[in-house]
A and B are shown apart, each in its own frame.
Chain A
Amino acid sequence: MSRRRILAWAAGGAAAATLAAVAGSGPAGTAADRAPAATPDGAVDARGLPAPVRPAFTPGRPRALGADRFTSRWAPVRRPATALARPAAGAPAVARVAARTPEGTTNIVLVIGRRTDAAGRVWVRARLATLPNGRTGWLPRSALGGYGTVDTELRVDTARLTATLLVRGRPVFRAPVGIGQTRWPTPRGRFYVRDELTRFAGRTYGPVAFGTSARSSVLTDWPAGGFVGIHGTDRPDLVPGRISHGCIRLRNADILVLARLMPVGTPLTVD
């Protein structure tokens, strides 16, 4: 049956009157709203039917997810928990994980693996902000909140004294850095950025300071535990150089650019 005949059939007889009543929505209906003319045999002339209302928008083509190799996942710590050596209740404890950082921000962990145990419990392998640096542990999924994702990575080259930010694997920012002196070295390894502080009093740390999961293995009695930051400076003349207590210092103009590009949760590699 042709489309026109189907329409004529559907709208025939009493249905035609109903359609006309529905279409005539107001006393001064537009030409498109008026009842279509009937043919001699009582059917409706489909050419007289109103055109569909043009949608205000139509979604574009659906797109499949792209490659995931540049995506890193982090999760906030919902409640204090003990990280374990294996994904099993009763496994040896590795470290205690707090819900807050020493700066009062929500503590986050970098997620590097997941596993479901025989009982159906999901465990998350996380990079931890504890000494010794580089430690990982398994946390129950229920101790963590929703996942956040980033497609950035910060690499600090302690030989060349540079910091490079990559977005989806491509370098988008590079700046000279100051790193720890020989007696207070910047720890090497894989870490992550876990908070961002701004508008604090004093010029020592510049306008922005990022907290990281890296800790000085020498200055363990430093206030709040000796966490390594990435921040600005009031001594730009010393950058690049080996001049800090372990923190990674950038010139203030550079740290401001980095703050626009680098989200919290970004993995950090120091080598």
Chain B
Amino acid sequence: MSGPTDLTFADIDRDEALLEAVAALHGETRAAFLRKAAIGGGALLAALAMPPSAGAAARLTDTAVLQFGLRFERLQATFYTEADRLGTVGRMPAAKQQWARTLGAHERAHVRIIKQILGDKAGPRPFFDFHGSTESDGSFTRTAVAMEDLTVALLTGVTPHMQDRRLSAALFGLLTTEARHAAWARHLVGTTPAARSFDDPRPVADVQSIVDATHFIRASPRLRRRRSRPRFTG
């Protein structure tokens, strides 16, 4: 296991899907980004919190923020649920089981309430493909750490933009909870729970790019077809 200060982003993101996207946001190749990050004493997960080179947050409506938030919460809830259902969580040490199951229950509760708030505007559940990262302790943990940190960066970025103060108050409640999730995850992998003295906000567009780059959210398989004449035996 990595020591408390030498955990690199690549350690967490072994498939490097997130890394590619983060590097792109900084206008660099993956190799250049890694090199630069290494000079600074290890990329750490602070890579997620480094300010991107360009792009101010677009003006977002409260509904759009909640819709993106729901998409992201669904991603997390499905991730933890799938790992639990597949038995990956059950094979972990007791402390990690408690962590994974607590986070899974929290994320499902977040999904329920945001869906309820959005009502008809919630949209259909996306189809997720975690590319096997729910199927082993190592890849599950690495992805969970990156995902929780990303959630904190997202909520830090969007919460001040909410026009309805009561909605921003609710998102602050989610933000502090997600920050505890991130710290708990970091503690479990043996890295510093609070790596920096300040969490920089991250625009939704950046988070969207990072999530897109993981390819965790996929087009639904085409299971239904119209006007295709059946050729079953009849």
Contact = CB atoms under 8 A, between A and B. Distances in A.
Interface of A: 52-65, 68, 71, 73, 76, 102-106, 108, 114, 116, 120, 122, 141-142, 145-149, 180, 184, 194-202, 204-205, 209, 211, 216, 219, 222-224, 226-229, 231, 244-247, 264-265
B222 A106 contact: yes
A114 B129 CA distance: 16
B120 to A, nearest CB: 16
Interface stretch (B18-26, B35-43, B108-116, B188-196): B108-116
A197 B224 contact: yes
Interface size class of B (residues with CB under 8 A): 35 or more
Closest A-B pairs by Cβ, 5 of them? A229-B232, A146-B129, A62-B105, A106-B221, A55-B170
B113 A57 contact: yes
Contacts, number: 165
A114 B166 contact: no
Interface stretch (B48-56, B77-85, B145-153): B77-85
B127 interface: yes
B132 interface: yes
Contacts of A62: 102, 105-106, 108-109
A65 B104 contact: yes
Nearest to A124: B135
Contact of B226 (A64, A122, A198): A198
Given A55-B166, A57-B170, A65-B84, A108 B234 contact: no
B78 to A, nearest CB: 9
19 contacts: A54-B166, A58-B170, A63-B105, A64-B105, A103-B231, A105-B221, A106-B221, A141-B135, A180-B233, A197-B225, A197-B228, A198-B224, A198-B226, A205-B232, A226-B233, A227-B231, A245-B234, A246-B233, A247-B233
Interface of B: 81-82, 84-86, 101-102, 104-106, 108-110, 112-114, 116-117, 127-130, 132, 135-136, 164-170, 172-174, 218, 221-234
A63 B117 CA distance: 19
Contacts of A228: 232-233
Given A63-B108, A200-B227, A227-B232, 7 more contacts: A55-B166, A59-B174, A65-B84, A65-B105, A106-B221, A205-B234, A264-B224
Contacts of B127: 146, 148
A241 B116 CA distance: 46
Given A57-B170, A60-B113, A244-B233, A142 B132 contact: yes
Contacts of B222: 104-106
Given A211-B232, A231-B230, A244-B234, A68 B109 contact: no
A223 to B, nearest CB: 5
Given A60-B109, A60-B112, A106 B232 contact: no
Contact of B231 (A122, A223, A264): A223
